[in-house]
Amino acid sequence: MFERKSGIILIAGIGFFALAFLSNAVVPVLMYRHLPEQTAEQLVNGNLRYQFEDLAQRFPQAFETAYGQPPADPEKAGRWYDEHCASALKLGHQIYVGEGCWHCHSQFVRPVSNEDRRWGPVSKSWEYQNELQRPVMFGTRRVGPDLSREGGRRSSDWHAVHFFEPEALSQKSPMPRYPWLFDGSPDKPNIRGLALITYIQWLGSWHETYPYYEDYTAVPIKTAAAAE
Ligand code: HEC
């Protein structure tokens, strides 16, 4: 049976499919059945709130156009920021999906190839147990860097300029421009631009090592030319 075509089809085609389905679908579902999925509101943490209020200071006009004025009462203002921050996360996530950022960026630091030395701690499954990972944003390939620990790595105005014109900050960057996230210039992100920046600043903001890149120093990569 093992040497016949039908045997190979049975084992390779059906057998391994069943095994993969069991290990990649059934087992995780059973393992995480009791872990509640977090909502965007629950994902607003202190690090992210700081970045969101920082957006309000860096882009006061754009922020006011998008969200209006926070209430004068400090307690109400706190809730106001939290609510807008959560809705910005959701919108930012939609834009990330819609613009196809995941065609070029992964959100998964793998436990191989010393990836953690480049991109921070290896991703754990609990990090994906939330609303903003539906559908999961593992990505399909890496034209650009992994973004799992991107939050806090760059300032929000860096991101604004970069989304407006990647080449202004990174020579010959193949990343597309996203001018429709702005009302004209990089200092005027619209509600979608602010949301996408919020989403990017959220990535990894939940992790105990945040901000992972505070002491980041780039390790020069040996190029083929230098090796010669
Ligand atoms: C065609 C592939 C491509 C697409 C699509 C793309 N990027 Fe990029 N991205 C890159 C590459 C390459 C880099 C590295 C060069 C640079 O900084 O521009 C990069 C860099 C970045 C960085 C900076 C990472 C760092 O700290 O060095 C961020 C953040 C980012 N992209 C977010 C996004 C978002 C959000 C989208 C969707 C709106 C997006 N990218 C779409 C290719 C892409």
Query: What's the confidence (pLDDT) of residue 146?
Result: 97
**Residues in the chain, pLDDT under 70:** 1-2, 214-228
97 contacts 128 by C-beta, under 8 angstroms: no
Please give the pLDDT value at position 226.
53
Distance 78 CA to ligand 1 centre (A): 32
User: Does the CB atom of residue 115 touch ligand 1 within 6 A?
Assistant: no
Q: Which of 106, 175, 181 to mutate to test the pocket of ligand 1 (most atoms within 8 A of CB)?
A: 175
Dig out the tokens for 77 from the structure.
């203002």
Contacts of 147 (CB under 8 A, 6+ apart): 105, 106, 107, 200, 203
Cβ–ligand 1 distance for 103 under 6 Å, the answer: yes
pLDDT for the residue 218? 47
Residue linked to tokens 């509101």: 41
